[in-house]
Amino acid sequence: MAMKLEKERTTWVLSLDNPPVNAFSLAQFEEIFAMFAQAESDDACRALVLTGSNGVFSAGIDIRALPRLEGEDRKRLVRNVNRITCEAYRFPKPLVAAVCGHAVGLGAVLLACSDFRIAAVGNYRVGLNELDAGLPFPACPAAVVQATLSPTAARRLCLGSALYPPESPLLDELIDERVPAESLMGRALELAADRGRQAIYAEVKLQQRQSTITALRTIIERDDDPLLALVGRIAPAGAARG
């Protein structure tokens, strides 16, 4: 089990829990798909907090496993990244990211997908380091980055490919609030519960995101990601994750 779903009254908590750095491999995706589906369909869940474990949010894709994947499995990985990006971005209930540590690559993309992003103050790094990791963005993460970040922020974070401490102003469009580590979950649960009481939250969220959600679904339904034709030639940089 690499994911945990805890039901805290009407606010549920989905914890990424795949030590040491909560990286995603093929095995983890089916679990998180099922948990998002359960949280969406169960009326008892009014809001969802997405967090990490062991002092890490998520270090993204486990690219150490990529050399062992054959071509079709690499394509499945790309499709899974697109799907989890879509599922998180279109999730109709309030989705609050509680960043407890490193949020890198896909980990940072999940922040961009969330409605609210609260980060603990601490000694860790956040960023979209796909470029330096040698991994082009799949189509759905690229679309979400374009939809949620200004052109200037996207340029700096994606082309700079650097990792920053959570206090950095360069992360201001990825992080809404910084709080002491001991206050992180309390604040995330408080915010999620407050937004979860809004009866028309799903409708207003859809108004804000409809065009991007449609684009994400089109990518997935048509299997239309240029990266699928390139995965066999991608060589990740070292053992970095992105």
CA atoms within 13 A on the CB side of 195: 23
The 3-state DSSP class for residue 179 equals strand
Contact 126, 146 (CB under 8 A): no
pLDDT at 64: 80
Tokens at 132, concatenated:
């330096």
Contact 154, 146 (CB under 8 A): yes
pLDDT one digit per residue (tens) for the chain, 242 residues: 468 899 878 999 999 998 899 999 888 899 999 999 999 999 999 999 999 999 999 999 987 877 777 778 999 999 999 999 999 999 999 999 999 999 999 999 999 999 999 999 999 999 999 999 888 999 999 999 999 999 999 999 999 999 999 999 999 999 999 999 999 999 999 999 999 999 999 999 999 999 999 999 999 999 999 999 888 777 666 543 44
Element (H, E) at 88: helix 71-90
pTM across the whole model:
0.94
Strands 177-179 and 116-120: parallel
Among 139, 79, 152, CA closest to 109: 139
pLDDT at 241: 40
Give me the sign of the Cα torsion angle 45, 42, 219, 61: positive
State which CATH number among 3.40.50.150, 2.102.10.10, 3.90.226.10, 3.10.310.70 fits the domain covering 3-196: 3.90.226.10
Counts of helices then strands in the chain (DSSP H, E): 9, 9
CA atoms of 180 and 157, how far apart (whole Å) = 24
b/e burial code for range 167-183 (CB count within 10 A of at least 16 → b) = eeeebebbbbeebeeee
pLDDT at 42: 97
H helices present in 162-240, as ranges: 184-196, 201-221
CA atoms within 13 A on the CB side of 10: 14
Sheet with strand 56-58: strands edge to edge = 56-58, 102-104, 126-127
pLDDT at 238: 54
Contact 158, 145 (CB under 8 A): yes
pLDDT at 91: 98
Element (H, E) at 178: strand 177-179
Q: Give me the amino acid identity at 89.
A: Y
- Number of other CB atoms surrounding residue 70 within 10 Å: 9
